[in-house]
Amino acid sequence: MKKSFRIIFMGTPEFAVPILERLCSDGHQVVCSITQPDKERGRGKMVTYSPIKEKSIELGLEVYQPERIKRKEAIEFIRSLNPDLLVTCAYGQILPENLLEIPGKGCINVHASLLPKYRGAAPIQRCILNGDEKTGITTMMTDAGMDTGDILLKSEIAIPYEMTAGELHDRLKMLGADVLSETLDMLAEGKLKGTPQNDADASHAPMLKKEESIINWLDDSFSIHNKVRAFDPWPGCFTKYNEKRMRITKSTFSRDISSEAPGTLIYTGRNGLLVACGSGILTILGVQFENGRRMDISDCWHNFTAGEAFGKGK
């Protein structure tokens, strides 16, 4: 009979939902689900639950939402549940050492990169932004640092040049559930061993900022294309055309040479808008103007004129 663990799960966004579901379907006893407090959103200040809270309610799990996980009352509550194991994924707060010491089997985190690369909050977007050809999932033993604990298991996938951050997110969230399931099976069998990370190989993945979403046409076409897909679905990638802010929603690139100034629209047609960059040419395949819908260039190419220039999309 497969061994199960008494687990507290800690997570917040949609990415963590398949992992929580797998813990339950694998037969583990999830005694509590800990997630970030509810938030008010929009002009009407509607209170919204995190995706993990919504799923936990659906699964009939107890939900705990401390403002600060470091506070004494939060630590004592977790201690009172007597867990074998903490499992975390994108929870959103650093766990203190006195919390990590509570479960007898420790704390296992699911991270969306091949550690030690891309420690931090935005590993999915940063690896695409950098033009990486592969990424994956790492399970690790959580310590007091930022994604610095011993590596347990890794699973790698390729990143096609057209894949967006949203698409990669959806691939990795399912892979994360698989890798965690295998990790816990190995733990139950006594076969799980941690490997220390090599800090010399580490890189960091800070949260995205809206100001990063503005296109600089002096950049090379490959970098701009990577920005378009890395910032989809959020925060988007922006330029200006005829003084109107425009989002580029889909693109491709070439390393062809153009004599035109960066940002110049050198060709317009049903198959795309060709724009000169600092190096190479970007082909715009989809756009969205403010308060408008996403459009394929095949539906709106006639609204653009060759020879005109794109500007900064503030």
For residue 72, the domain's CATH number is 3.40.50.170
Distance between alpha carbon 22 and the CA centroid of its chain, in Å? Answer: 19
Contact 216, 282 (CB under 8 A): no
**180 and 222 part of one domain:** no
**What is the DSSP code (8-state) at residue 213?**
G
Contact 91, 36 (CB under 8 A): yes
**33 and 113 part of one domain:** yes
**115 and 62 part of one domain:** yes
Q: How many domains does the chain have?
A: 2
DSSP, collapsed to helix, strand or coil, labels residue 123 as helix
Residue 110 belongs to some domain of the structure: yes
Q: Which tokens go with 229?
A: 């897909």
Kindly give, in sequence order, each residue whose CB lies less than 8 Å from that of residue 210, ignoring residues fewer than 6 positions away: 235
Average pLDDT, the chain: 95
pTM of the shown model: 0.95
Residue 232 belongs to some domain of the structure: yes
State the residue range of the domain holding 131: 6-201
Q: How long is the chain? A: 314
Environment class of 170 (CB within 10 Å of its CB; exposed 0-12, middle 13-18, buried 19+): middle
Residue 108 neighbours by CB distance under 10 Å: 26
**220 and 149 part of one domain:** no
Q: Which of the listed residues 147, 180, 201 is the one where a domain comes to its end?
A: 201
Lowest mean pLDDT among 75-89, 124-138, 298-312: 298-312
214 φ, ψ (degrees, to nearest 5):
-85, 130
Residues 151-202 pLDDT 10s: 999 999 999 999 999 999 999 999 999 999 999 999 999 999 999 999 999 9
pLDDT tier at 312, thresholds 50, 70, 90: low
**242 and 187 part of one domain:** no
- The end-to-end CA distance of the chain, in Å, is 59
pLDDT at position 228, please? 98
